[in-house]
Structure 1
């Protein structure tokens, strides 16, 4: 199937150079604005498409897949996470799914460390004071935060991003601990200086900082539920740059308001943009608009991986980043 004959539908605006390259290679339909397609728009667009390029804001469920035209054979996701796509339904319909793993590793790990520093060192509070013109000068007891070095960091999810966070944390003098679905190889643990905890409960109860770096799956939904959040030390903080669904957001909000958790840094939320408004009222909470992978370099690399997956598929081969449901 020659690449220029492929009909490709892109659901969101991509970097200019990626859109330009797609125009050169494929019969591509791009978005004029950067709004989320409605379900009706998405269904209509898929009637004569060979390839769909969605992002995390698109819900590609079994109903959407079933309503697609017979030509649709590849969903080339712009992003690593695929929990917004019913991969099993796609496979049953003879549609392959690809993603862009590994591209956002370093950027997301950077943001994780930024959130840890922001919460523990009270950076947003200091910024707000300066912007409001309320600073009256240095004081020995003014704006006291905490020291990062020597703190115990518990990483929940030790994949690419979790390991990148571990390397950064070690450079800051932190003690690295982790819980993962599968234990790392001994040589990897030694390289990272990481201690494995088979019991997530025991790890959570002993850490100074918890970093969420696992994907959203049925098994990880509300993995940090109210019971487990209550195991955290009152002076501990939690940061999440992975998926909002991993934390019971309402339970965390109640505990933050009650002073049962010292602080939180959140880049993702359980209901997407519709997060608990009470979080905005708390000075010990840092909120970001899903910026973990938002670098110009990262977005271009993601687009290049999407193009590679489509081009390989067009040549009659399996996309290099093919998603296998059994491995999710």
Structure 2
């Protein structure tokens, strides 16, 4: 049987199975397995995860390819320009993971500022001797300033959360002279990056990884943050210089770093494992049952609609 839809995972929920009822020529097999590689020749649709980058060489082996579905918002793991050139549609999952990712960014921030990991480790160690006036003193957030890189849905959702705990919010003006950001409960000013950073007691990253944002925060720019600032990243690895951030952390210039994403993940810079004042998570931004099921549904509906649209167009041309 020719494979029409080639997927690398069954995803969360029943939606891949439902898609298979509509398109029986569906095959679920691990990424780059022999069966996956063989299926490229006939595949009209590919379904991949964020951790499964496709190359132009992969797509050159797919003469019938009409659509790629990625179980993510980001598409930086796909050869977007090549897809555009060939007319291959890309289906992703925007919108449905906004609140889950913003919640996780806030979780990282509160875990850092209230030293949650250290507190839990102390209790579990059996060494806790009881309440003390100076035990694991953290940092309050009310009245502080939060700089946000990225004014899309997730950045705005995080802004609402930061505002709710009493922070003043500013956004990075990526393109210059853009209007203020209405994030639902207030309107926040946009600032050039070199003006935003020195004011940001908290800097939270919510921008996509692009040619513009890759390496955006090098050593010099990170050093512009106020002493004791907290850096949160639930966007993509590669936006800031990880080694420079660790150096500033060791020097006491940064108050803490919370990461859900890493450069070259899942391979980590080993320095993170020993870095003080960090909370490190394994890319859990969208990891709720409700969100992952909604992502599966959106992705599979997009694949189905794309294939049916192509089929109708082919019928009209015939």
* TM-score of the two chains, using structure 1 as the length reference: 0.88
Aligned to 1:142: 135
Deviation of residue 99 (structure 1)? 1.1
Q: Which structure 2 segments of 5+ residues have no match?
A: 312-318
**Partner Cα distance (2:36, 2:217) in 1:** 33
Moved over 6 A (4+): none
Q: How does 1:186-225 map to 2 (within 5 A)?
A: 186=180, 188=182, 191-197=185-191, 199-225=192-218
Match of 1:174 in 2: 167
> 1:95 aligned to 2:88?
yes
- Residue 271 (structure 1) shift: 0.9
Residue 317 of structure 1 deviates from its aligned partner by 6.2
Q: Which residue of 2 aligns with 1:28?
A: 26
**8 Å contact kept, 1:189–1:195:** no
Return the match for 2:55 from 44, 58, 61: 61
The alpha-carbon distance between structure 1 residues 116 and 252, as it changes in their structure 2 partners (threshold 3 A), is same
Match of 2:240 in 1: 247
Deviations 1:24-70 (A, max 9, x none): 12221113xxx6x23876543311111001111111121211222x2
Task: State the alpha-carbon separation in 1 of the partners of residues 178 and 120 from structure 2.
Answer: 39
Kindly report the root-mean-square deviation, in angstroms, between the aligned alpha carbons of the 2 structures: 2.0
Q: Distance in 2 between matches of 1:25 and 1:294?
A: 28
**Deviation (angstroms), 1:154:** 0.3
Number of residue equivalences: 308
TM-score calculated relative to the size of structure 2:
0.91
Distance 1:20 1:40 in 2: 22
8 Å contact 2:172–2:196 — kept in the other structure? yes
- The answer to which of 306-315 and 51-60 deviates more is 306-315
Counterparts of 1:307 and 1:189, CA distance in 2: 30
User: Which residue in the other structure is 1:261 paired with?
Assistant: 254
- The answer to whether the 8 A contact 1:153-1:207 is kept is yes
In structure 1, stretches of 5+ residues that fail to align are: 319-328
- Asked if 1:17 corresponds to 2:14, the answer is yes
Structure 1 contact 7–49 (Cα < 8 Å) conserved:
yes
| Residue 94 of structure 1: how far off its partner (Å) | 3.0
* Cα distance change, pair 84–264 in 1 and its aligned pair in 2 (3 A): same
Change over 3 Å in CA distance of 1:224–1:17 after alignment to 2: same
Shift of residue 13 of structure 1? 3.6
